[in-house]
Structure 1
Amino acid sequence: MAFTAVERPDQGEKAHGWASAGLRDQVIRYRGYRMAGARPARTTLPAGSVTLLLGWGTPLHMRHGPNNDEPPGQWPSLIAGLQTTPVLAGYPGPGHAIEVDFTPLGAYRCLGIPLHHLAETRVHPDHVMGTGWTERTTARLSAAQNWSERWAIVDSILINRCIEHPPPSPLMVEAWNLLRARDGSMPVSELVTATGRGRRRIQALFREHIGVPPQTLSRIFRFQHALAVPATEYRSMAELATMTGYYDQAHMNRDFRSLSGYTPGQLFNFTVQAAARNNSDNDKYMRDFFAH
């Protein structure tokens, strides 16, 4: 089970791991954190994934909304469905956490619930996994000697859950693959034609398996696609908008503001500044959903 770890004595440790072969279609990646002390809050952008966070120590402090204006919440552990607004989150003290990033279809199978229950919200894992599950699981994770042992524990748990629950509808898998292959640039009418199913059937499948309508998932895919285009490949924001499936630059500006709270120019300037500080982690986080 491959993984990488970067340790910074003053900050703690961050590890990246990948699920075993039997979970590759369900799990995008594992991430592990050891916080030596307070870590500054960072903004997480909508990325078309479902997250399971399991922590022990200081809970995650989180603000949500277009301007991070919702009241802050404290989450030792959580499950978060697909989001369409940014989240500002950080740890004000020492602790550990493991983050599992699922594809939506992977979350549908591993978690065993319709994903509209998780969309645009966060819940305690016990609400999905059963009473006491989180405490038992974090106790096992905290007792493990290293990240490889922790990945193996999570692997075993998720494989068993996948065995317990049925796979997603083949029709939904087809629709997901079509939309992802086009980076969201596929109207619902084309999905209907390509799959041979009616609009209502497609909408119902997305609500159950993804949690949001296909139009919303398309917005997230287009947004992430635009973030992933190297700056050397376009000469203007208008050209980038055309390249990535927006009607025009105004359409792209509206979506960027809605999904991130920033204009495209502001957001891209942020990544340039992060790179100049030799801090590629910010840039990578916004784009890494499409790196796997």
Structure 2
Amino acid sequence: MRPVRRREAPTGDVAVILTFGPPIDVLDGARRQTLTGSFVAGVGDRYSTTEYHGEQYGLEIVLSPPGARRLLGLPLSELGRPTVGLGDLLGPAADRLLDRLACAPDWATRFDLLDTDLAGLATATPPAPVAERAWRLLIGTGGRIGVAQLAAELGCSRRYLSSRFAELTGVSPKTYGRIVRCRAARRLLSGGPAPLAEVAARCGYFDEAHLARDFRSLVGVSPARWQDEFPFFQATGGPAG
């Protein structure tokens, strides 16, 4: 049986994969990581590929970096690798949650259990205010605000901003801006054929060549090829390694 394989582009979000199916392999460049259970995929700055045999089923929870900080109880910079087993982060609470979900009689019950259990797991430790404000500014501007302007808006040094922001997201503000711009471009391209020069201008790129370079770096293919293969790509979530 041939494996099911999907290219996963970075989104700027954190994905929590609760799986009841077969193991999932995550290929990040030359590295292959086999995940035999549920896992968390942090914010990444390049695409990865997921692969599995058989039928896969489960749940995916997409979290903003501030939401992930509150749920996981640690800065994303401390994950240590692109994908981490859920049990490594939440301890026995992860197994209890998965057992309850697997034994639930239907999906409506599973969703209710998630609402209750995740609220109980969330910590009272908020992210650094300057990092969360910077994240909101980057999201609000579509990644079109530079690091110097961010620091000026927030009244702090670029070094301090970059350090706190990396704790929140696992990447630098500049990298996160690139991810947000590329995500916006993918959404425009997923709506149907569009002139690449127009997409580049709308998403804050210098020109079409700038868009193409970022696209190849983050997604692994050209914008035109991605548009052709869109049904096989994860457009808005999933492992972002």
Task: Answer yes or no: same fold by TM over 0.5.
Answer: yes
The alignment status of 1:221 with 2:185, answered yes or no, reads no
Tell me the SS of whatever aligns to 1:229. helix
Q: In the alignment, is the contact (CA less than 8 A) between 1:54 and 1:78 conserved in 2?
A: yes
Measured after TM superposition, the shift of residue 95 of structure 1 is 5.2
Q: In the alignment, is the contact (CA less than 8 A) between 1:80 and 1:119 conserved in 2?
A: no
The residue aligned with 1:150 is: 110
Measured after TM superposition, the shift of residue 38 of structure 1 is 8.1
Q: In the alignment, is the contact (CA less than 8 A) between 1:46 and 1:259 conserved in 2?
A: yes
The alpha-carbon distance between structure 1 residues 209 and 231, as it changes in their structure 2 partners (threshold 3 A), is: closer
Q: In the alignment, is the contact (CA less than 8 A) between 1:84 and 1:120 conserved in 2?
A: no
Matches within 5 A, 1:17-36: none
Once the two structures are overlaid, the 10-residue window that deviates more, 132-141 or 225-234, is 225-234
Tell me the SS of whatever aligns to 2:57. strand
Measured after TM superposition, the shift of residue 238 of structure 1 is 2.5
Q: In the alignment, is the contact (CA less than 8 A) between 1:82 and 1:119 conserved in 2?
A: no
The residue aligned with 2:99 is: 139
The alpha-carbon distance between structure 1 residues 80 and 59, as it changes in their structure 2 partners (threshold 3 A), is: same
Structure 1 residue identity aligned to 2:119: I
Structure 2 residue identity aligned to 1:201: Y
Measured after TM superposition, the shift of residue 120 of structure 1 is 5.4
Tell me the SS of whatever aligns to 2:25. strand
**Residues paired across the two proteins, number:** 238
The residue aligned with 2:124 is: 165
Give 5+ residue unaligned stretches, structure 1: 1-36, 275-281
1:172-193, Cα deviation, whole Å (9 max, x unpaired) = 2221111111111110011011
Q: 1:113 aligns with which of 51, 68, 74?
A: 74
The alignment status of 1:50 with 2:32, answered yes or no, reads no
Q: In the alignment, is the contact (CA less than 8 A) between 1:82 and 1:118 conserved in 2?
A: no
Structure 1 residue identity aligned to 2:107: W
More strand by share: 1
Structure 1 length-normalised TM: 0.74
CA distance in 2, matches of 1:195, 1:122: 31
Q: 2:167 aligns with which of 208, 226, 231?
A: 208
The alignment status of 1:286 with 2:238, answered yes or no, reads no
Structure 2 length-normalised TM: 0.88
1:216-245, Cα deviation, whole Å (9 max, x unpaired) = 100100001111225889963233212211
The alignment status of 1:128 with 2:92, answered yes or no, reads no
Q: In the alignment, is the contact (CA less than 8 A) between 1:116 and 1:208 conserved in 2?
A: yes
The residue aligned with 1:10 is: none
Structure 2 residue identity aligned to 1:176: W
The alpha-carbon distance between structure 1 residues 236 and 126, as it changes in their structure 2 partners (threshold 3 A), is: same
The alpha-carbon distance between structure 1 residues 157 and 39, as it changes in their structure 2 partners (threshold 3 A), is: farther
* Percent identity for Structure 1 against Structure 2: 30
